[in-house]
Amino acid sequence: MASTRDIRRRIKSVKNTAQITKAMQMVAAAKMRKAQSAALVGRPYAQLLNEIMAEAALRTIGFDHPLMQSRPVAKRAVILVGTDRGLCGGLNSNLFREASKLDKHTTIFVTAGRKAAQFVGRTKRNLAAEFSYKDNPDFAEARAISKFVQQLFLKGEVDAVDILFPRFINTLTQSPQLVPFLPLGKISAATAGVNSPAQELPAGSSTDVFDFEPDEETVLGELLPHSLNFQMHQILLETKASEQSARMVAMKNATDNAKQIIKDLTLEYNKLRQANITKELLEITTAQMAVG
Amino acid sequence: MAATLKLEIVTPEAMIFSGEVDMVTLSGVEGEMGIMPGHEPVMTQLTAGEVTVRQSGQNLFLAVGDGFVQITATRVNVLTDMAIKADDIDETMAAEAMQRAEARLSQKLSDEESATVHAALVHATTQLHVKRRHKK
């Protein structure tokens, strides 16, 4: 049976753990608010971009851009967006479970975040490139990833590109989701990574025929890659929001568990202490009786 | 025909301007364009420069970066990577940003970095340009 000293030691160590998880929870909560608002401010831009693309699509029947070329899919690339650090609950494991369902031989992985790269390495899957992104992902980081996969696609090394990332649903829920990235089959779906409601075209817009200046190839040639870069950026932002939320919840659970353990241990400690006192009293009285 | 245009200027960070305006002047790839209500539908690219917004007799100036413009008879949508009102431009900050960007350009940079630095340089120059033009 554990002595009172052992129990005291355990209480102390659990208390330390609780303190750390509590601190991590606070940090994650602060970062989460920032990440969530960063993911949200991009919405008007995404919506407008969506609108422009959708309207452009009406004009572009018959227009073919290399990024829109759909081929039979023999090889495909998946951009796996994970986190850099662990301790964020089941976020990464859920994501990787989805990733393991993909065919090992026909899928090339492009990863963002250290945990994602570790997963691909550990399970001996094909890794084309790994990227990193900061706590506040900036546009250049997203552009680098997006450009890389666009190159892969244009060179014909892969025939389709999907993105697998933890979609932010709310603070308590994040679910891994696979969204198509390339080819841009339907222009209107180009900003699908941003969970904005499907855009209704303003009435009458279908009768508007747009002039392109200088011409549609130039404008769309710029617009398509830009919208892909932007979509990638939104996905990085959303992943960050998911990560921080998941970490906050995980750390809150850990803190709560630690508090429960402390409570149980304190109870046990007090019981043992009382038992010891009673035992000592008994010993004294028995001794007196024996003498008297 | 509508008497006003609905103008929206949006960057990835925020909605900078949204409202009914009488006229918009902006610099496209093919030169300055003045847009009044009832304009032909046009889709074009925006180059870094100045946007002039005429709203109830008053002119508002903005410095903008590269982007896209979508024009219909009643709406003008501007998507750009930077937009800042002339009054909000901090001249010293813009000048510092320009110097920083120039200093970094002299170093060896990867393609990605140099794209970013170039964009920053263009932003800073445009801001300074717009600010100096409208300084009283």
A218·B45 Cβ contact <8 A:
yes
- Give one DSSP letter per residue of A137-182, joined into a string: --HHHHHHHHHHHHHHHHTTS-SEEEEEEEEE-SSS-EEEEEEEEE
At A254 the pLDDT is: 95
Domains of chain B (ranges; CATH) run 5-86 (2.60.15.10), 89-133 (1.20.5)
Helix (H, G, I), strand (E, B) or coil at B18: strand
Element holding B58 (H helix, E strand): strand B58-64
At A205 the pLDDT is: 45
Instruction: Return the closest-CA partner of residue B61 out of B69, B53, B73.
Output: B53
**Distance (Å) from the C-alpha of residue A268 to the closest C-alpha of chain B?**
55
* CB-CB contact of B105 with B121 (8 Å): yes
Tokens describing residue B113: 């970095």
At A252 the pLDDT is: 95
Domains of chain A (ranges; CATH) run 4-20+251-291 (1.10.287.80), 26-249 (3.40.1380.10)
In this model, does residue A188 exceed pLDDT 60?
A: no
Cis-peptide, bond into residue A214, ω within 30° of zero = yes
Instruction: Return the closest-CA partner of residue A139 out of A25, A42, A276, A11.
Output: A42
Residues of B in contact with A145 (CB under 8 A): none
Query: CA–CA separation, A233 vs A227, rounded Å?
Result: 10
C-alpha Rg value of chain A to the nearest Å: 28
Pairing label, strands B49-55, B23-28: antiparallel
Tokens describing residue B15: 């909605």
In this model, does residue B31 exceed pLDDT 90?
A: no
In this model, does residue A201 exceed pLDDT 60?
A: no
Helix (H, G, I), strand (E, B) or coil at A264: helix
Which residues of A are designated catalytic?
Answer: 88
- Give one DSSP letter per residue of A83-113, joined into a string: -SS--STTHHHHHHHHHHTS-TTTEEEEEES
In this model, does residue A10 exceed pLDDT 90?
A: yes
Query: CA–CA separation, A22 vs A45, rounded Å?
Result: 36
Instruction: Return the closest-CA partner of residue B76 out of B134, B26, B132.
Output: B26
* CB-CB contact of B81 with B12 (8 Å): yes
Tokens describing residue B126: 């445009």
Tokens describing residue A172: 């308590």
* CB-CB contact of A183 with A70 (8 Å): yes
Query: CA–CA separation, A233 vs A142, rounded Å?
Result: 5
Q: Which of B35, B45, B46, B76 to mutate to test the interface with A (most CBs of A within 10 A)?
A: B45
A213·B45 Cβ contact <8 A:
yes
Q: ipTM value, please give it.
A: 0.74
At A57 the pLDDT is: 67
Q: Which residue has the higher pLDDT, A140 or A243?
A: A243
Mean pLDDT value across residues B20-45: 88
Predicted model pTM:
0.80
Summary mean pLDDT of chain A = 85
Mean pLDDT value across residues A147-174: 90
Tell me how crowded residue B44 is: count the other CB atoms within 10 A of its CB.
Answer: 21
Residue of A nearest to B14 (CA): A41
Q: Using CB atoms, pick whichever of A45, A140, A213 lies closest to residue B12.
A: A45
pLDDT in tens, A272-286: 999 999 999 999 999
At A189 the pLDDT is: 41
B43·A51 Cβ contact <8 A:
no
Query: CA–CA separation, A227 vs A146, rounded Å?
Result: 10
Q: Using CB atoms, pick whichever of B30, B73, B79 lies closest to residue A49.
A: B79
B44·A223 Cβ contact <8 A:
no
pLDDT in tens, A66-113: 887 778 888 889 999 999 988 898 899 999 999 999 888 889 999 999
pLDDT band at B57 (very low <50, low <70, confident <90, very high): confident
